[in-house]
């Protein structure tokens, strides 16, 4: 741990055998005689993306007014955080046509046309998250973090002649370089808190200890002698959150070890229910952002054409066939129930960001998250009138509680360009953009 007499460096770590925990922003990290208000006037800015597969029932998604005073059925769970959320109607992905599930996934962050191929000569475009990672991600341990919920081992072609790589990867660092996403909480946990040494060595040591945090007791004691009561409470809460996430991972692994018939559709050692797995992946994102381990995150709630069922909410139909509902009201209602479930997990995540103080604001106020799908009406593989939300706050000049409706379809790339601008990345264009979204681009201050 590096400590100066005047203040702690922002990049202060607790260190143990092959592991490191980056600390959240503390008052002790503010240089001596520097007013807090001035120090926090330009907080760290984060950018995240959550992908919802296979579109939705847009009639149950779309808010009824120009604000979010009244929420639609699918968005109802956003009530506690709606002042930080903007719903946007009438965005499109023209480069996703001719419509397919593969191009819905691949175009969501690239707004690019995928090369039609079943082989390894795939070609797409650099995604918006990776453009952000090249600039705001270079000061962190991980320039970006790619997460998913599914074990993606399929290769070859997955959809109408498109290679499975387009289904499996939201994030591309170049037109020919997809970035695989990780679905296993243990592997994500170790990527956030591992430092040096082999993973096998760290796991061998972990078997001798109750928790990864046991490695840091001596370093933590030295740190606490330098901190005031408020900072000590903040550090202790952060470390207890890490410990609880680790306990949940350990419980899931123990349950899997005792199950002679593992679920082959999900990684071994993840929580048994979808909701518990998703909450764990969202909580890992909170820790990654709070410790400034990364500032750019993508998360795929499920892959396109997923046949996952959701018995925990009473939906036994596989998601993909259900999305091709043929205008059957009962099937549409069950699909909407899945949509509502996914949004509710995102709403819980936003609530945790809102409840996490940072400087003179919160993690939610210092982050921007895009939530949505590359398909509008899944029954016809439509890529217009996409279900899109933007959540976050002041650091990016966003004002929430709104429903922004465009009379004519606007490229989703315009939103990507706008979000990049709000985290300090200035580009003249992105993919098929025609300009920033005027309704979102006016700086609103902090």
pLDDT at 11: 77
| Listed range (9-13, 296-300, 433-437) with the worst mean pLDDT | 9-13
pLDDT at 159: 72
pLDDT at 350: 98
Closest CA to 104 of 132, 124, 129, 131: 124
Residues 227-242, mean pLDDT to the nearest whole number? 92
3-state secondary structure at position 137: coil
| Percentage of the chain modeled with pLDDT above 90 | 65
- Each residue's pLDDT tens digit, 317-353: 999 999 999 999 999 999 999 999 999 999 999 999 9
| pTM, two decimal places | 0.91
Q: Which long-range contacts (CB under 8 A, 24 or more apart) does 218-225 make?
A: 219/1, 219/14, 219/15, 219/16, 220/14, 222/1, 222/3, 223/1, 223/3, 223/12, 223/14
pLDDT at 16: 74
Beta strand 357-358 with 361-362 is antiparallel
Give yes or no for residue 165 having a pLDDT over 60.
yes
| Listed range (62-71, 126-135, 221-230) with the worst mean pLDDT | 221-230
Average pLDDT, the chain: 87
Give yes or no for residue 265 having a pLDDT over 90.
no
pLDDT at 2: 42
| Percentage of the chain modeled with pLDDT above 70 | 86
Which residue would you say has higher pLDDT here, 75 or 445? 75
pLDDT at 207: 59
pLDDT at 264: 44
Rg (CA), the chain: 22
Which residue would you say has higher pLDDT here, 136 or 9? 136
Task: Give the residue ranges of DSSP H helices in 161-311.
Answer: 165-168, 185-193, 199-206, 217-224, 229-257, 274-290
pLDDT at 71: 98
Whether the CA torsion 197, 200, 205, 210 is positive or negative: it is positive
Domains annotated for the chain, with CATH where assigned, are 1-27+199-268 (no CATH), 43-183+270-441 (3.40.720.10)
Residues 361-379, mean pLDDT to the nearest whole number? 95
- Each residue's pLDDT tens digit, 123-162: 999 999 999 999 999 889 999 999 999 876 555 557 778 9
Split at pLDDT 50, 70, 90, the class of 10 is confident
Chain mean position to CA 18: 27
Residues 50-58, mean pLDDT to the nearest whole number? 96
Give yes or no for residue 251 having a pLDDT over 80.
yes
- Each residue's pLDDT tens digit, 177-207: 999 999 999 999 989 987 655 556 656 655 5
- Each residue's pLDDT tens digit, 109-129: 999 999 999 889 999 999 999
Distance CA 211, CA 143 (A): 26
pLDDT at 386: 98
pLDDT at 155: 55
3-state secondary structure at position 172: strand
Residues 300-311, mean pLDDT to the nearest whole number? 93
Residues 211-234, mean pLDDT to the nearest whole number? 87
Tokens encoding 183: 């679905």
Residues 267-285, mean pLDDT to the nearest whole number? 90
Burial class (CB within 10 angstroms; exposed 0-12, middle 13-18, buried 19+) of 409: middle
Give yes or no for residue 432 having a pLDDT over 80.
yes
| Listed range (49-63, 82-96, 219-233, 272-286) with the worst mean pLDDT | 219-233
pLDDT at 266: 52
| Listed range (49-53, 245-249, 409-413, 441-445) with the worst mean pLDDT | 441-445
pLDDT at 17: 67
- Each residue's pLDDT tens digit, 21-49: 888 989 888 765 455 444 455 678 899 99
């Amino acid at each position: 741990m590096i400590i100066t007499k005047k203040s702690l460096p922002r990049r202060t770590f607790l260190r143990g055998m092959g592991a490191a925990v980056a600390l959240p922003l503390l008052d002790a990290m503010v240089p001596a005689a520097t007013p807090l208000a001035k120090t926090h006037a330009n907080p760290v800015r984060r950018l995240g993306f959550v992908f919802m597969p296979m579109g939705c029932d847009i009639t149950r998604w779309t808010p009824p007014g120009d604000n979010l005073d009244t929420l639609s059925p699918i968005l109802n769970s956003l009530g506690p955080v709606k002042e930080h959320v903007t719903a946007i109607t009438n965005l499109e992905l023209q480069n996703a046509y001719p419509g397919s599930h593969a191009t819905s996934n691949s175009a969501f962050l690239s707004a690019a046309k995928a090369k039609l191929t079943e082989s390894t000569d795939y070609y797409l475009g650099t995604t918006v998250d990776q453009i952000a990672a090249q600039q705001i991600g270079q000061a962190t341990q991980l320039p970006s973090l790619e997460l998913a919920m599914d074990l993606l081992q399929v290769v070859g072609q997955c959809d109408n002649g498109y290679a499975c790589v387009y289904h499996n990867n939201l994030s591309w660092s170049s037109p020919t370089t997809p970035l695989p996403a990780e679905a296993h909480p243990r592997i994500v946990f170790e990527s956030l808190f591992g430092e040096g040494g082999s993973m096998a060595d760290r796991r061998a040591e972990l078997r001798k200890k109750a928790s990864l945090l046991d490695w840091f007791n001596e370093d933590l004691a030295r740190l606490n002698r330098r901190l005031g009561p408020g900072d000590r409470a903040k550090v202790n809460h952060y470390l207890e959150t890490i410990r609880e996430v680790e306990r949940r991972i350990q419980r899931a692994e123990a349950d899997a070890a005792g199950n002679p018939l593992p679920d082959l559709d999900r990684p071994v050692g993840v929580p048994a229910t979808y909701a518990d797995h998703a909450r764990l992946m969202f909580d890992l994102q909170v820790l990654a952002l709070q410790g400034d381990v990364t500032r750019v995150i993508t998360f795929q709630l499920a892959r396109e054409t997923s046949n996952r069922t959701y018995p925990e909410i009473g939906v036994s139909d596989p998601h993909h066939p259900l999305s091709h509902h043929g205008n059957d009201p009962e099937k549409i209602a069950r699909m909407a129930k899945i949509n509502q479930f996914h949004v509710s997990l995102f709403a819980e995540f936003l609530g945790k960001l809102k409840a996490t103080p940072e400087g003179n604001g919160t993690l939610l106020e210092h982050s921007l998250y895009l939530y949505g799908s590359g398909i509008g009406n899944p029954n016809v593989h439509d890529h217009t009138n996409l279900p899109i939300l933007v959540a976050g706050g002041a650091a990016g000049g966003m004002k929430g509680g709104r429903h922004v409706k465009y009379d004519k379809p606007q490229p989703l790339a315009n939103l990507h360009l706008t979000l990049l601008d709000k985290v300090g990345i200035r580009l003249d264009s992105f993919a098929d953009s025609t300009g920033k979204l005027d309704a979102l681009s006016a700086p609103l201050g902090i």
